Amino acid sequence: MVIRGDERSAAIGSGSRRSRLGGGQFGTLGLHFADTETEKSVLSVLESVETELRETVASADPFVTEAAGHLVKAGGKRFRPLLVALGAQFGDPSRAEVVSAAMVVELTHLATLYHDDVMDEAAVRRGAPSANSRWSNSVAILVGDYLFARAADVAAELGPEAVRRQARTFARLVHGQIAETTGPRVGDDPVRHYLHVIAEKTGSLIATSAHFGALFSGATPEHVAALAGYGETIGVAFQLSDDVLDIASESAESGKTPGTDLREGVPTLPVLYALASEADAASARLREIVGSGPLTDDALHAEALGLLRESPALKQARETVRGYAEKARTHLAPLPDIPARHALESLCDHIADRTT
């Protein structure tokens, strides 16, 4: 599964809905607002999304309501609705369509989580038992299908453009999952393949989030295109930064125990760079350890983690993260110099800095 660190973590905070959606969450994401009006506008969209999510996943069947609401109640960063709300600042963020657009992307995202947990055989999601472990794989798959259907229903209310974009995004999500499952073909560059998977599975929906926010707030076509490009690139950058933190952090800074992906045999960017390296004896030893799959032996895991932290591969991965963060910033160039643009730039700064 591509989205790992933030989505496996526990729900954000407790207390009032505003406290869960406010400064603490934005601080975690590295998002900063230069003015209170923009922050209030973004919070208003996110609060409406929280309310409508619970209403939208409800069904005449109480069991379906419970299962479909399982991850809604567990919380999460709501990063995709956040991008919708920020994109809407370049038009009229008070339009009712903005909240509906945010609903489409979050429902689509939640649906993928149910399916991903089945494929990953995950036991926990957002600090709670995953749907597949609480009920069964079949229930989790069917609930994911139900959420996809609800997303399509909301998109239909927004019109043909929303339906088309959501369908194409869904197709990219599926292509990305297939590519991840089958792995690179013979002769393919594993790093290029991995970056393609992340763009399809992670970047595509975040791109649609920023695109929808701008589109349904009435922003200009130029601004819609700029925000879509930003969304895809920043989505890839965030995932790659999680890859680096999984290796480099000494604590649960990445939202999980350091080296989790390494232990599970997930070939993240630093590992792929290390496997491709023939620099020295340390690189050869690292290839020998991590090339064999999951590291269940604690001593081997610790050795591999130590070698990776000292390897040129980790530095190369950091440089790649910074490159994507700076590329995301360039997509913002056509946008007006308003507080929402500064907030989006702060995400670039955060990603560039969090892995150093």
Q: What is the pLDDT of residue 345?
A: 95
DSSP string, 314-354: HHHHHHHHHHHHHHHHHHTTTS-SSHHHHHHHHHHHHHHHH
Topology of domain 32-218, per CATH?
Farnesyl Diphosphate Synthase (1.10.600)
Helix (H, G, I), strand (E, B) or coil at 75: coil
Q: Which two tokens stand for residue 347?
A: 């995400």
Do the first three CATH levels of 32-218 and 220-355 match, i.e. the same topology?
yes
Residue 125's DSSP bridge partners are 128
Amino acid, single-letter form, for residue 196: H
Q: What is the pLDDT of residue 198?
A: 96
Q: What is the pLDDT of residue 3?
A: 42
Q: What is the pLDDT of residue 127?
A: 66
Q: Rounded to whole angstroms, how far apart are CA atoms 11 and 77? A: 8
What DSSP character marks residue 128?
E
Helix (H, G, I), strand (E, B) or coil at 286: helix
pLDDT at 19 over 80: no
Say if residues 241 and 354 touch (Cβ distance below 8 Å): yes
Q: Rounded to whole angstroms, how far apart are CA atoms 108 and 144? A: 9
Q: Mean pLDDT over residues 53-73, rounded?
A: 84
Q: Mean pLDDT over residues 77-89, rounded?
A: 94
Q: What is the pTM of this model?
A: 0.87
- Among residues 59, 40, 134, 31, the alpha carbon closest in space to that of 351 is found at 31
Encode pLDDT of 212-269 as tens digits. Answer: 999 999 999 999 999 999 999 999 999 999 889 888 877 544 456 778 888 878 889 9
Q: What is the pLDDT of residue 14?
A: 31
Q: Rounded to whole angstroms, how far apart are CA atoms 43 and 88? A: 12
Encode pLDDT of 113-127 as tens digits. Answer: 888 777 777 677 766
**Half-sphere exposure at residue 109, Cβ-oriented, CA atoms within 13 angstroms:** 27
Residue 128's DSSP bridge partners are 125
Q: Mean pLDDT over residues 193-213, rounded?
A: 97
Domain ranges in the chain are 32-218, 220-355
Q: Rounded to whole angstroms, how far apart are CA atoms 267 and 286? A: 13
What DSSP character marks residue 240?
H
Q: What is the pLDDT of residue 137?
A: 84
Q: Which residue has the higher pLDDT, 66 or 200?
A: 200
Topology of domain 220-355, per CATH?
Farnesyl Diphosphate Synthase (1.10.600)
